[in-house]
Amino acid sequence: RKEVEQDPGPFNVPEGATVAFNCTYSNSASQSFFWYRQDCRKEPKLLMSVYSSGNEDGRFTAQLNRASQYISLLIRDSKLSDSATYLCVVSGGSYIPTFGRGTSLIVHP
């Protein structure tokens, strides 16, 4: 079983839609959680951290469920510019950030 698992998609949604991605992790000792965004042929960039109580940044909401060992990312009112790959990142006690394979999002007009 991979340490961090994501559905690769693609998720194909119209502008204005709400879309959600999940990511599961295997190490129950994991302590830090993030979502990164990666555009085609570009480097990953930090989108947001994920806190235990859940957190929101504009149209983006991230949540953590420690009991079921998953994190989620919700995007409301999707824009064309949201089209990208969204990478889930988990760090445990070793402080080595481990990436999922990413979920591809395509927002169409």
Partner 1 sequence: DTGVSQDPRHKITKRGQNVTFRCDPISEHNRLYWYRQTLGQGPEFLTYFQNEAQLEKSRLLSDRFSAERPKGSFSTLEIQRTEQGDSAMYLCASSLQGGATREKLFFGSGTQLSVL
Residue ranges that bind partner 1, judged by CB under 8 A: 4, 6, 8, 32, 34, 36, 42-46, 49, 87, 89, 91, 94-102
Q: CB 30 → partner 1: shortest distance, Å?
A: 11
Nearer to partner 1, 42 or 79 (CB): 42
SS3 content of the chain, % helix, strand, coil (to 5): 5, 50, 45
Q: CB 8 → partner 1: shortest distance, Å?
A: 7
Give me the count of residues in the chain: 109
Q: CB 77 → partner 1: shortest distance, Å?
A: 26
Show Cβ contacts of residue 87 under 8 Å, excluding neighbours closer than 6 positions: 6, 35, 36, 37, 38, 44, 99, 100, 102
CB-CB contact of 17 with 105 (8 Å) = no
Nearer to partner 1, 6 or 78 (CB): 6
Q: CB 27 → partner 1: shortest distance, Å?
A: 14
